[in-house]
Amino acid sequence: MRALVWNGVDDLAVETVPDARLVNPRDVVLRVLATTTCGSDLHFIDGYLPGMLPGDVFGHEFMGEVVEVGPEVRRVRVGDRVVVPSFIACGSCWHCRHEQYSLCDTTNPNAAAQQPLLGYPSGGIYGYTHPFGGYAGSHAGFVRVPFGDVNCFSVPDGVSDVAALFVSDAAPTGFMGADFCEITPGDTVAVFGAGAVGLMAAASARLLGAGRVIVVDRLPERLEKARTVAGAETLDYTAVDSVQEVLRETTGGRGPDAVIEAVGMEGHGTGVQQKLDRAKQALRLETDRATPLREAILACRKGGVVSVLGVYGLTDSFPMGVIVNKGLTLRSAQQHGQRYVPRLLEHVAAGRLDTAALMTHELPLEDAVRGYEMFKEKQDGCLRAVFRP
Amino acid sequence: MDVTRTARTLAGSVAAAAGRVRPGRAGGAPPPQQTLTFTCSPADVLAAVRDAAVWSQVLGDLGRAELVAPGRYRFTPASPADAEGVDTELRESADAVLFDRSGDAPPLVELRVLPAPQDRGTEVELSLDLPVPDLAAGAATFTVLYRLRALLQTGEVPTITPQPSARPAQR
């Protein structure tokens, strides 16, 4: 099959690799119908996250058609059109039973490599670094899905492939971020970052009852999406002296009840700290440019919730004192998609959530290298490139 | 400042660190132990680890186990290819399974169980006395224990072998 592979830092290629196949008895193999870029891929493409091996097939946000099922698969059938969350869950460990699916205790084949970093290893993920399992990813003709009955969700007839695709990761990650905020009707929620996850977080905050949603970014086309997809107010951080000040003023001096950070380790920003972060990251003296995270913590009202969805390594100058003195609650996780996918598919089918709007470019898999370049450089207003194998 | 005491402390730290990266146990130190909580009962864990096939499954790329006579097990590492097996004898108690080697050598495998609090299942402690540096032994022990938990809880051992990649050996 053809697949997009990582051959080194900034070195991607579409190559021919062996077909994905069943390995364990509860595996399923999908023919990939749609697979998309994700900002978290850029961290290893750019060389900030170690743990990839040359030749790795990557990609973790996808949907497809079931073409093969293992002998112990009971629910999923060949021919089903399904969407699959990016983290692999077994459905039976303590964390899965508590709906903390990305923390699954049993699906990371390289858990020993991750344990020293995290203390306790996470679950496995498709097409990411080897400490996260090293599973082959979805930018390919076919993909193996372990525990098919737990991880495959049937797509309703009225939901398109593209709309279902983003229920794999961007939508559940965003929804989880909003869920963490414990929104009560009328709350004000600020979202830092208008990428796909930030937009889904903003739209989800609305679905969960927020009265005002304010999205902060710098790209006009993304801010426009925030207004149309999420019904959000927008704030261009490059057009103001202080985002904190604007948020404070527009909320009567209280600050947003919750702030969702949806940017991650390659964040942009303004000010001296951002320039310092950029220099230190370039010299590999720190892993993160964490300006949006710090801004989110500073912007949140006293006693509020900061929900962190961005992917980070080891952040310098983390304002712990602000968290303590403002009595903030900090919540974060990789997405527990299996918990949210069924209700998100209902929202999409009912027209309450527009996930398909996240796709700005549709390309054949053969053009995936160009797709990642467009995505990384935000060329032509690229929000998400979708590949069709 | 007590220079002598500081120097001794420093030397002790260096020796301890060296012990973690060099093969063999310094001064008869016990092999590294790893502990995980399983959702299944202590009895289920102890029953499973009497089965050589279970050990072969969780050792996977690390080696294999076979029952050579009642109560006698042979563990053979995967590398080097001509590695000889280690013969062991099963020793059991109410809360432990040990695979003893002959002579004065400590058990090759020592697995102990105790009920976990809050109905969380079983805390399982595993030590493998492997002829590798402690850091590697600790990682290998964790891998085996993680696989054992996965097998007992899901019926499967997580693996990425085989899987597609563009590495030359797989083209």
What residue segments make up the domains of chain B, in order of their start?
Answer: 29-156
More confident residue, A286 or B38: B38
Q: Does A15 reach chain B within 8 Å, measured CB to CB? A: yes
| pLDDT at res. B30 | 86
A115: which chain B residues are within 8 Å (Cβ-Cβ)? 142
Nearest CA-CA distance, residue A29 and chain B, Å:
12
More confident residue, A264 or A335: A335
CB pairs under 8 A between A and B: 109
DSSP label at A37?
-
| pLDDT at res. A269 | 75
SS3 of chain B: helix, strand, coil, percent, to 5: 40, 25, 35
Give CA–CA dist A85/A65, Å, rounded: 14
| pLDDT at res. B19 | 46
Per-residue pLDDT tens for A303-362? 999 999 998 877 778 899 999 999 999 999 999 999 999 999 999 999 999 999 999 999
Contact B154 A112 (CB under 8 A): no
Mean pLDDT in chain A?
95
Per-residue pLDDT tens for A226-258? 999 999 999 999 999 999 999 999 999 999 999
Q: Does A133 reach chain B within 8 Å, measured CB to CB? A: yes
Beta bridge partners of A364: A388
| pLDDT at res. A277 | 73
B170: which chain A residues are within 8 Å (Cβ-Cβ)? 17-18, 55
Helical H segments across A80-209, by residue range:
94-97, 111-118, 148-151, 161-165, 170-180, 196-207
- Backbone φ, ψ for residue A288 (5° rounding): -120, 145
Give CA–CA dist A23/A121, Å, rounded: 22
Distances (CA, A) of A73 to A78, A129, A149, A389: 11, 27, 6, 25
B140: which chain A residues are within 8 Å (Cβ-Cβ)? 112
Structure tokens at A278: 């950029």
Contact B165 A107 (CB under 8 A): no
Q: Which domains does chain A have, with CATH numbers?
A: 2-169+336-388 (3.90.180.10), 171-332 (3.40.50.720)
SS3 of chain A: helix, strand, coil, percent, to 5: 35, 20, 40
Contact B142 A115 (CB under 8 A): yes
Structure tokens at A358: 């996240």
B25 pLDDT tier (thresholds 50, 70, 90): low
More confident residue, A278 or A377: A377
Beta bridge partners of B110: B98, B127
A132: which chain B residues are within 8 Å (Cβ-Cβ)? none
| pLDDT at res. B15 | 44
Point out the residue among A15, A23, A134 whose CB comes nearest to the CB of B166.
A15
Burial class (CB in 10 A: 0-12, 13-18, 19+), A236: middle
Contact A57 B170 (CB under 8 A): no
Of A191-200, A269-278, B94-103, minimum mean pLDDT range: A269-278
Closest listed residue to residue B109, CA positions, set B69, B156, B82, B77: B77
Fold of the domain built from segment(s) B29-156: Alpha-D-Glucose-1,6-Bisphosphate; Chain A, domain 4 (3.30.530)
Q: Phi-psi bin for B107: left (phi > 0), alpha (psi -120 to 50), beta?
A: beta
Contacts of B51 (CB under 8 A, 6+ apart): none
| pLDDT at res. A264 | 82
**Preceding omega of B80 cis (within 30 degrees of 0):** yes
Which amino acid is residue A116, in one-letter code? P
Instruction: Convert A133-144 to b/e letters by CB count within 10 Å (16 or more is b).
Output: bbbbbbbbbbbb
